[in-house]
Structures are given as structure tokens and as C-alpha cells.
């Protein structure tokens, strides 16, 4: 009977560790994919290729994960570029920006809608822009607003680019936290109480470290 209980416990631990590993792998895949798209968008932005930059920023938004700062920065980039185009009378480019932003945010909806206030702002802007653009400006026209260096500097100053080193540290601390959870469960029944406490404190510390790196990356 004891052997059966031990086998069940080991099976439960293995299942839990497997689920954590799977979820962690998915999270890291989405996180690093969003970072890659963000870097592509930044390259296009620095060249003044606004439509390509907006499109890739929208791809970043689609790779939404909780605590992912790349998504937040990408949203602010699109909003700023859209407002800049709107104020300069380039309604077609502004319409393109807000459509991309709306589509990107809408695609992240699951149990709740992330960035719902930004989505509402998009709908308000789109309702105005559609009345301005309709029948006046060809939607596919290549009429990007010249990107002034002052705007590029303002974008990066207000919404600094996430640090790749801190992002890597966040990913590493997340993996170490998952490993620590698996280790605690696997050794729980034959570990002294004091060592259990130390292991739990270390695991909580890794979780807090992960959240800290995500917040400042």
C-alpha cells in the first residue's frame, strides 16, 4: 500500500513539473518572439519606415503575456505615431496605425480584455478618421509623414526600450523558479523541516526576482 502511495505521489510530482515546464516553455517562446518583433519594429522606425514599424509593433501586441513590457512599449509607440500622423493631417497613416493597434489588442482577448481603455480610445479615433479618410485619401497611398528626429527622441525618452539583459535575467529567473518548485515537491517527504523552509524562501525569492526583472526590463 505504501509503495502505491509513493508511486502516485511521484506521478503527481512528475505531472506537475511537466505542466510547469510546458507553461514555462510557452511563456518564454511568446516573450522572446515579442522581443524579436520589437527589435524589427525599432529598426524600421529608425529608418523612418513608419508603416512597417507600426505593423511589427502590432505583431508585438499580438504576442501578449502578462508583465511583458515589450507589449506596453509597442502600444505606446503606435499611439504616438498615430497621433503624430493625425495632427499632421495624414489621416490615412493615422487610420492605419489605429486599425493595427485595435486588431493587435483585440487578438489578445481571452478571459478578459487586456488594455481595454486603449481599445476604447482606438474605436473613438477610428470613428473620426473613417469619416475623414472615406473617399478623400487612398488607403494604400505611400504618404508617410516624415519622421522628425525630435519625435524619435521623444518616443524613446517617454517609453525607453526594454533592456535585453534584464529581459534575459527575467527569463532565467523564471526558469530557475520552476526548477525550484519541482525540486521542493520532489524532495518534500524526505527533507528536514528547516531545509524545507529554506527551499521555500529561496523559491519565493526567485519568484520575486522574476517579477522585479520584468518590471524594470
C-alpha cell at 69: 513590457
Span 186-214, average pLDDT: 78
Q: What is the pLDDT of residue 174?
A: 80
Residue 208 has pLDDT above 70, yes or no: yes
How far apart are the C-alpha atoms of 115 and 124, rounded to whole Å?
15
How far apart are the C-alpha atoms of 29 and 10, rounded to whole Å?
28
Q: What is the pLDDT of residue 124?
A: 83
68: left (phi over 0), alpha (psi -120 to 50) or beta: beta
Q: What is the pLDDT of residue 37?
A: 93
How far apart are the C-alpha atoms of 80 and 101, rounded to whole Å?
11
Picking from 5-9, 106-110, 138-142, 176-180, which range would have the lowest pLDDT averaged per residue? 138-142
Span 160-171, average pLDDT: 69
**DSSP class of residue 101?**
H
Local confidence band at 51 (pLDDT 50, 70, 90 cut-offs): very high
What DSSP assignment string belongs to 107-174? TT-SSS-TTHHHHHHHHHHHHHHHHHHTTTS-TT---PPP--HHHHHHHHHHSPPPPHHHHHHHHHHH
What DSSP assignment string belongs to 61-94? HHS--TT-HHHHHHHHHHHHHHHHHHHTT-HHHH
C-alpha cell at 93: 497613416
Local confidence band at 43 (pLDDT 50, 70, 90 cut-offs): very high
Looking at per-residue confidence, does 163 or 213 come out higher?
Answer: 213
Q: Which tens digit of pLDDT belongs to each residue from 133-164?
A: 665 544 444 445 555 556 556 555 555 556 66
Span 48-74, average pLDDT: 89
**88 Cβ neighbours under 8 A, 6+ residues apart:** 145
Local confidence band at 203 (pLDDT 50, 70, 90 cut-offs): confident
Looking at per-residue confidence, does 117 or 215 come out higher?
Answer: 117
Q: Which tens digit of pLDDT belongs to each residue from 67-114?
A: 788 888 999 999 999 988 888 888 888 889 998 998 888 887 765 677
Q: What percent of the chain has pLDDT over 90?
A: 16
Amino acid at each position: 500500500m505504501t509503495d502505491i502511495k509513493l508511486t502516485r505521489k511521484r506521478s503527481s510530482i512528475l505531472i506537475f513539473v511537466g505542466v510547469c515546464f510546458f507553461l514555462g516553455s510557452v511563456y518564454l517562446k511568446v516573450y522572446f518572439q515579442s522581443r524579436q518583433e520589437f527589435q524589427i519594429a525599432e529598426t524600421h522606425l529608425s529608418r523612418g519606415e513608419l508603416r512597417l514599424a507600426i505593423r511589427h509593433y502590432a505583431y508585438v501586441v499580438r504576442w501578449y503575456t502578462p508583465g511583458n513590457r515589450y507589449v506596453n512599449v509597442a502600444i505606446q509607440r503606435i499611439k504616438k505615431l498615430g497621433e503624430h500622423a493625425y495632427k499632421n493631417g495624414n489621416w490615412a497613416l493615422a487610420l492605419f496605425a489605429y486599425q493595427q493597434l485595435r486588431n493587435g489588442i483585440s487578438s489578445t482577448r481571452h478571459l478578459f480584455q487586456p488594455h481595454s481603455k486603449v481599445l476604447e480610445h482606438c474605436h473613438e479615433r477610428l470613428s473620426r478618421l473613417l469619416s475623414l479618410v472615406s473617399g478623400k485619401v487612398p488607403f494604400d497611398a505611400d504618404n508617410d509623414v516624415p519622421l522628425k528626429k525630435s519625435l524619435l527622441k521623444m518616443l524613446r525618452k517617454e517609453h525607453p526600450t526594454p533592456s535585453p539583459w534584464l529581459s534575459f535575467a527575467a527569463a532565467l529567473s523564471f526558469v530557475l523558479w520552476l526548477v525550484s518548485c519541482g525540486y521542493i515537491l520532489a524532495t518534500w517527504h524526505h527533507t528536514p523541516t528547516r531545509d524545507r523552509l529554506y527551499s521555500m524562501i529561496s523559491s519565493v525569492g526567485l519568484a520575486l526576482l522574476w517579477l522585479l526583472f520584468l518590471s524594470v526590463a
